[in-house]
Amino acid sequence: MKCLDGSLRVSRTLQVHDNVLAEKGIKLSIGFDFDEFARIARTIPTKEPIEPNFRPDLSLIKPGEGYWIMGVDKENAVAILAAQRLYDLSGTNLAEHFESLKAFYADPTVHADRYYRCNCRVKSATTITGKVAYHGDYWIRSDFRGKGLSAIMPRVTHGLSFAMWAPDFLCALVERWAIDKGLVLQYACPHHEADLSILVEVEGEIVDYNYWLIWRTAEELRNEFDGHNRNVLTLNGPFPPTLPSAT
């Protein structure tokens, strides 16, 4: 783990948000080892199980194609976790990637249980292709909810993903309640569309989870972050990503 305030040179925008988080008693770190992410996540009793696409025993995350953020409080207890990864969808699209289950598993025929299914009826997902940054496994401890972190954390992670990967698209899945409560606006994703369903077995019962796809384009990311210092990151981690050249 490398602390953002020590090992990363972040843009002016990210520095502002990092300072705001510090005022709220949160210190951010970034990690690239997803075995470590899984170990930390499993120690949190109130966190939902790790999404399979962020479990290195189920899904291949190549060096430089994934990172995670952790926020700890003044007692060094975990208060925030969020994971991000990059999909290379050249020659395919996000809808096909979901429905083939390759978005979740390195080899669906081996790793997915017999009930796992994904039906993507999001029409726009067929147009999402190229380099796609997927943001997920987002968790905030209950005592830090309602304090504006849902508006701050996406801008931190979107800025990092933009600097590391310059993706063609950035996307996430959210439940309907996030749409109803207007959280999608806080997540800084101007586009959202229903519906995507994932069928899984939970404690012996088959459960159908329904999600909305939210996303933003490369142009929208550039419009937000290109106006700031483009020398965004200098990573001292084990898998430093290649930064986009300045424009």
In this structure, of 16-30, 103-117, 152-166, 228-242, the range with the lowest mean pLDDT score is 228-242
Q: Are 3 and 232 in contact (CB under 8 A)?
A: no
pLDDT at 12: 62
Comparing 16 with 131, the larger pLDDT belongs to: 131
pLDDT of 120 > 50? The answer is: yes
- Say what the alpha-carbon torsion angle 119, 122, 123, 125 is, to the nearest 10 degrees: -90
Q: What percent of the chain has pLDDT over 90?
A: 61
Whole-number average pLDDT of the chain: 85
pLDDT of 88 > 80? The answer is: yes
Query: Cα dist. 21→134, 140, 176, 240 in Å?
Result: 23, 13, 27, 24
pLDDT of 245 > 80? The answer is: no
CA angle 176, 84, 214 (to 5 degrees): 30
Q: Are 38 and 50 in contact (CB under 8 A)?
A: yes
Q: Are 63 and 239 in contact (CB under 8 A)?
A: yes
The set of residues, in sequence order, having a beta carbon less than 8 Å from that of 219 and lying 6+ positions away, is none
Q: What per-residue string of b and e applies to 188-207 under the rule 16 or more CB within 10 Å gives b?
A: bbeebeeebebebeeeeeee
pLDDT at 18: 76
Evaluate the CA torsion angle 81, 17, 246, 94 in order and state its sign: positive
CATH numbers and ranges of domains, the chain? 2-225 (3.40.630.30)
Tell me what the mean pLDDT of segment 105-114 comes to. 90
pLDDT digit string, tens, across residues 48-62: 999 999 999 999 999
Q: Are 133 and 170 in contact (CB under 8 A)?
A: yes
Would you place residue 19 in the very low, low, confident or very high pLDDT band (cuts 50, 70, 90)? confident
Would you place residue 66 in the very low, low, confident or very high pLDDT band (cuts 50, 70, 90)? very high
Please give the model's pTM, rounded to 2 decimal places.
0.85
The owner of tokens 């843009």 is 11
Across 35-39, 48-52, 112-116, 220-224, the highest mean pLDDT is recorded for: 35-39
pLDDT digit string, tens, across residues 176-231: 998 988 888 888 899 999 989 999 877 677 889 999 999 999 999 988 877 544 44
Cis peptide leading into 168, omega within 30 of 0?
no
Would you place residue 239 in the very low, low, confident or very high pLDDT band (cuts 50, 70, 90)? very low
